[in-house]
Amino acid sequence: MYTNYLSWLLLAPILLSLAAFSARWAGKLAMRVAEVLHFITILVVLILGLLVIQGVLVEGSVVALNDWLHVDALAAVFLLIVCVVGFLVGIYSIGYIRNDVRTGELQADQVSTYYGLFDLFLFTMVLVVTANNIIMMWVAIEATTLGSTFLVGIYGHRSSLEAAWKYVIICTVGVAFALYGTVLVYSDAVNFLQRPEAAVLWTEIVKNARALDPTLLKLAFVFILIGFGTKAGIFPMHAWLPDAHSEAPSPVSALLSGVLLNCALLVIIRFAIILEQGIGPEFPQMIFLIFGSLSVVAAALFIFVQRDIKRLLAYSSVENIGLIVLAFGIGGPAGILAALLHTINHSLVKALMFCTSGNILVKYHTRDLSKIKGMLQVAPFTSFVLLVGTLALIGSPPFNIFISKFSIFSAGFFSGFPLLMVVLLLFLAIVFAAFMKMASSAVFGSLPENITKGDVRISMLAPIAVLVILVLALGLYLPPQISMLLNQAALISIHGNAAADASISLLNFSNSELPIAFLQFAQLFGR
């Protein structure tokens, strides 16, 4: 039964996106037809995605198509992000794109193309997180670039075409490196896995990782990190990211930052697991620590000088992806749990912030922070969510990121990296200051002339309100289903599969090796 859900999770969006493309021939109704098809797509992806995740909770994992698709707890965490954030941002898209059509930013006949591409992009990301065939993982990542290039450049301005060009060139060149890493792993695995069909499967390679050649593995991992790291926005391969994130329509920015970066990260983690099973965790952890810290430091410096709200948010994504990578580098149950939790939390908050920046863009017609002032008088609800989002993003309680950032740093302190943590906290202080300055000057301050009063339409506020609720809720309470997924995902990261000792839970971790912080969190969660 769950196998069917998984097959349909991939089939449905691709068929529906093709239908959305062809809505352009529906004459005057084209826009409405495309909207309806788009709504059905995101709803179907949400429902089927949640059903598959339920399957993982019940049965441990869900497979389909001769094991080519495989959703374990680790994939389920990312699938949850794809389908929930994809759905909310998809809803926000409808109001946002209608507004673009009203103001003449987009032509009505471009709308079906937009939704076709949006849903295709969503499909490619579902494919990334559900793929079990390592070469198909690469194909899927490459497809995410191709699917989203025209979304980035859809406005057709000089700057958006430039951003789209940089995006497609940098990412295809970068991701091509990862193909070498992937092929190296496969060609080595095929030597001892008798059936070539098995040597492409991640699950089979992990089981036999000890037989892989250590030198080849390390070389392959460097290629993988450069390649997929480009897509994940890890410094110094992040060059495309601020341009693409700032020039794309805001819902697309939310999808790029909140979902796509994580998908690329998942594939890197998959290969890191192969390495950890094959040659031990030291090498991938060292690489993660280096690149994670560099990303945080570099992003903090860029954030400090930003005058463009969407570029500010884009660099904040580099910073947060850096933190997640860092947490994987810290390793151990504490580091990995913190990393996974931060992945979910950052995704929600960043989707919230990019959608909010979309509302600001609608009111002020600019991304220039020196011109965005006095929002409280114009758009009170948008001001409120901007404040909430900013506080959440910089890690203030009671919002979700507070817990995951705190967990990352306490894991770091207790796992032997206190000095590094202190240095990084100093850089986070810069980020903190920059974001507080941004939010206070945007919300308060004197209102520029020619801004009509009144908040944006309800269709662009409702999805943001849901995100606000989620951000707050996950800061106060972690549902047992999610904590079970996180536990199992952490076990997969450590042992290569969740079956080893599935009885271990968050609370048990805290008894043995988890820092005190997590013990408090465990009590806070009521488990």
Partner 1 sequence: MFGFNLINTLSGLLIITSLIVIETRSLRRSAYYYAVQSIVLVLIFLTLAVTTGQKQLFLWAASALVTKAILTPYILLRGEDRVASAAPPPQAVRPALAIVLAAISVVVSFVVINQLDLKIANEYKPALAVSVAHFFFGQLCILTQRNILKQILGFCLMENGSHLTLALLAYSAPELVEIGIATDAIFGVLIMTILAVQIYRKLDTLDAASLTSLKG
Q: Which stretches of the chain bind partner 1, using CB under 8 A?
A: 133, 135-136, 138-139, 142-143, 146, 149-150, 153, 156-159, 161-166, 168-169, 172-173, 176, 179-180, 183-184, 186-188, 190-191, 196-197, 199-200, 213, 215-216, 219, 242-243, 246-247, 302, 305-306, 311
Q: How many helices (H) and strands (E) does the chain have?
A: 23, 2
- The nearer residue to partner 1, 42 or 256, going by C-beta atoms, is 256
* Identity of the residue, 51 or 135, whose beta carbon is nearer to partner 1 in the bound complex: 135
- Cβ 470 to partner 1, closest distance in Å? 32
End-to-end CA distance of the chain: 31
- CB 166, min distance to partner 1, A: 7
User: Residues 265, 343: contact at Cβ < 8 Å?
Assistant: yes
- Under 8 Å CB-to-CB from 311, ≥6 apart: which residues? 242, 245, 246, 367
- DSSP code for 257: I
User: Is the CB of 291 or the CB of 302 nearer to partner 1?
Assistant: 302
Name the pairing type of β-strands 69-71 and 62-64: antiparallel
Q: Contact at 8 Å (CB) between 462 and 375?
A: no
Backbone angles phi, psi at 321, to 5 degrees: -60, -40
Q: How far is the CB of 173 from partner 1 (least distance, A)?
A: 6
Please give the full DSSP string across 10-78, using - where no structure is assigned: HHHHHHHHHHHHHGGGSGGGHHHHHHHHHHHHHHHHHHHHHHHHHHHHHHS-EEETTTTEEE-HHHHHH
Going from the C-alpha of 456 to that of each of 105, 162, 351, the distances in angstroms are: 17, 29, 17
CB of 169 to partner 1, least distance (A): 6
Smallest distance, partner 1 to C-beta of residue 312, A: 11
- Nearer residue to partner 1 within complex by CB, 120 or 259: 120
DSSP 8-state secondary structure symbol assigned to residue 133: B
DSSP state of 107: -
Nearest distance from residue 337's CB to partner 1, in Å?
A: 34
Measured from the CB atom, the residue of 299 and 485 that comes closer to partner 1 is: 299
User: For the chain, percent helix, then strand, then coil, each to nearest 5?
Assistant: 80, 0, 20
CA–CA separation, 404 and 427 (whole Å)? 17
Give the shortest CB-199-to-partner 1 separation in angstroms. 8
The alpha carbon torsion through 355, 361, 362, 365 (nearest 10 deg) reads: -170
Instruction: For residue 158, give every residue at least 6 positions away whose Cβ sits within 8 Å of its Cβ, in sequence order, or none.
Output: none
Of the pair 226, 344, the CB lying nearest partner 1 is at: 226
**Residue carrying structure tokens 């060139």:** 169
Minimum CB distance to partner 1 smaller for 337 or for 369:
369
- What are the b/e assignments for 402-421, b being 16+ CB within 10 Å? bbbbbbbbbbbbbbebeebb
Look at residues 503, 475, 474, 473 and name the one whose alpha carbon lies nearest to residue 487. 503
The DSSP 8-state label assigned to residue 446 in this structure reads P
- Which one, 81 or 303, has the nearer CB to partner 1? 303
* Least distance CB 124 / partner 1 (angstroms): 10
Rounded least distance, CB 122 to partner 1, Å: 17
CB of 172 to partner 1, least distance (A): 6
| CB of residue 190 to partner 1, shortest distance in Å | 6
Taking the least distance from each CB to partner 1, the nearer of 108 and 211 is 211
Residue 314, token pair as written in the block: 């884009």
Which of residues 274 and 504 has its CB atom nearest to partner 1 in the complex? 274
Cβ closest to partner 1, residue 163 vs residue 264? 163
Contact 370, 104 (CB under 8 A): no
Nearer residue to partner 1 within complex by CB, 176 or 472: 176
Q: How far is the CB of 26 from partner 1 (least distance, A)?
A: 23
Task: Quote the Cα angle for 78-80-84, to 5°.
Answer: 125
